[in-house]
């Protein structure tokens, strides 16, 4: 261990932050595509208008998926216990997300192959499903993290998941899902308002304003609900440098326990402030036709909302609703000291390349997308 310049606690915290960056990166970059897909049948009414939306996100959506892939890879390599529980316990939910996401590339490629209104309308609704369903279920997953998942570990560290897919669809989890849908629709609408023109931009502004207001109300309702909900609180002494053992702790359910971090770490209040402030400013930007103010503000709102969930449950990753002591935390579900360090070196090399490449792509693809511009592009969808 002496050959590693960073101690175990520091590496664990760094990887917790990196995982948060990757998930927030997907929520912002991939969320705009999900939002545009959800708005496709509504903000665009004709075939020409819908082609504008498809060609707005079509060239970049695959690159935006990289954030989701990196997030899943980080969980697999840095927090294998979390990967084992979540990817097996939530297997059906993840398959539903995967099937919905598969509709997007198929829809982009197949929609324009046949000049038939029914054919294209069917694929338009497929693209809607590819945007709405992942946003909803990912939010439902976050809601279930706050509620706790029905799993436990035995003395040999074997995992026993005792729930099913439909048990995940509780009222609070569905509320969290609607917050997720609302924030990505607001974000997608802000993108459309900034990079399209005419009636499409006007419809997008209208939908975005209503989605932003709904997000604010639902996010506030979720905060009130959490204040009465029992949260998981570690009552034993934790050694951040200790070997991995999820059972080596005591956990109690405390009413309003998920709010305790905000008194312990007052700076965390910045997250919900950014969530509310960003979404409110996005609504203002859309109403005032301040294109990029709305987009930057909705990005800030998403950052704040996702950060609020992550900071509220810290240091938990996935609490257990059936046996609280089995809940997985940052300190007892990570990979080894050496693994985290080697992965950090690899990430320090590749992540800046991904960020620079993404920035270059969006610089090349900047500018408005219109029906006229599509007529000049033989490769347009």
Q: What is the pLDDT of residue 102?
A: 92
- Model confidence, pTM: 0.93
Report if residue 135 sits inside a domain.
yes
Place of tokens 């036709």: 289
Q: What is the pLDDT of residue 89?
A: 82
Q: Name the stretches of the chain with pLDDT < 70.
A: 1-2, 375, 378-379
Domain count, the chain: 1
Q: What is the pLDDT of residue 5?
A: 84
Report if residue 5 sits inside a domain.
no
Q: What is the pLDDT of residue 1?
A: 44
Span 275-291, pLDDT tens digits: 999 999 999 999 999 98
Report if residue 190 sits inside a domain.
yes
Residue 166: cis peptide before it, omega within 30 degrees of 0: no
Domain holding 284, by residue range, is 12-368
Report if residue 373 sits inside a domain.
no
Report if residue 225 sits inside a domain.
yes
Tokens of 63: 């690159």
Report if residue 381 sits inside a domain.
no
Beta-carbon contacts of 107 under 8 Å, excluding residues fewer than 6 positions away, are: 123, 124, 126, 127, 130
Distance of CA 146 to the CA centre of its chain: 15
Q: What is the pLDDT of residue 378?
A: 67
Report if residue 376 sits inside a domain.
no
CB atoms within 10 A of CB 330: 20
Q: What is the pLDDT of residue 379?
A: 67
Residue 371's DSSP bridge partners are: none
Q: What is the pLDDT of residue 61?
A: 86
> Nearest to residue 130, comparing CAs of 239, 49, 30, 224?
30
Report if residue 374 sits inside a domain.
no
Q: What is the pLDDT of residue 79?
A: 93
3 state SS of 81: helix
């Amino acid at each position: 261990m002496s050959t590693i310049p960073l101690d175990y606690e520091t590496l664990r915290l760094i990887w917790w932050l990196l995982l948060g960056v990757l998930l927030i990166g997907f929520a912002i970059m991939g969320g705009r595509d999900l939002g545009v897909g959800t708005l496709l049948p509504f903000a665009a009414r004709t075939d020409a208008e819908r082609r504008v939306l498809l060609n707005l996100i079509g060239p970049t959506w695959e690159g935006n998926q990289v954030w989701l892939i990196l997030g899943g890879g980080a969980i697999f390599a840095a927090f294998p216990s979390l990967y084992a529980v979540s990817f097996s316990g939530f297997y059906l939910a993840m398959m539903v997300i995967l099937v919905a996401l598969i509709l997007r590339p198929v829809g982009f490629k197949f929609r324009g192959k046949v000049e038939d209104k029914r054919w294209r309308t069917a694929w338009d609704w497929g693209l809607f499903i590819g945007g709405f369903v992942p946003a909803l279920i990912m939010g439902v997953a976050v809601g279930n993290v706050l509620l706790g998942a029905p799993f436990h570990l035995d003395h040999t560290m074997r995992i026993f998941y005792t729930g099913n897919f439909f048990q995940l669809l509780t009222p609070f989890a569905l509320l969290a899902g609607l917050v997720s849908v609302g924030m990505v629709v607001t974000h997608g609408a802000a993108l459309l308002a900034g990079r399209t023109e005419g009636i499409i931009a006007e419809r997008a502004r209208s939908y975005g304003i209503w989605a932003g207001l709904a997000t604010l109300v639902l996010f506030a309702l979720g905060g009130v609900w959490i204040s009465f909900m029992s949260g998981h609180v570690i009552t034993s002494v934790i050694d951040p440098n200790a070997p991995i053992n999820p059972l080596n702790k005591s956990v109690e359910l405390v009413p309003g326990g998920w709010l305790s971090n905000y008194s312990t770490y007052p700076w965390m209040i910045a997250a919900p402030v950014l969530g509310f402030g960003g979404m409110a400013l996005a609504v203002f930007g859309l109403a005032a036709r301040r294109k990029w103010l709305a987009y930057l503000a909705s990005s800030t709102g998403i950052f704040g909302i996702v950060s609020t969930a992550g900071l509220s449950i810290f240091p938990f990753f996935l609490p257990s609703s059936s046996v609280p002591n089995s809940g997985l935390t940052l300190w007892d579900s990570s990979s080894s000291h050496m693994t985290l360090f080697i992965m950090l070196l690899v990430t320090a090399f590749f992540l800046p390349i991904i960020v620079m490449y993404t920035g270059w792509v969006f610089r090349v693809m900047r500018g408005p997308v219109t029906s006229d511009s599509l007529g000049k592009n033989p490769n347009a969808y």
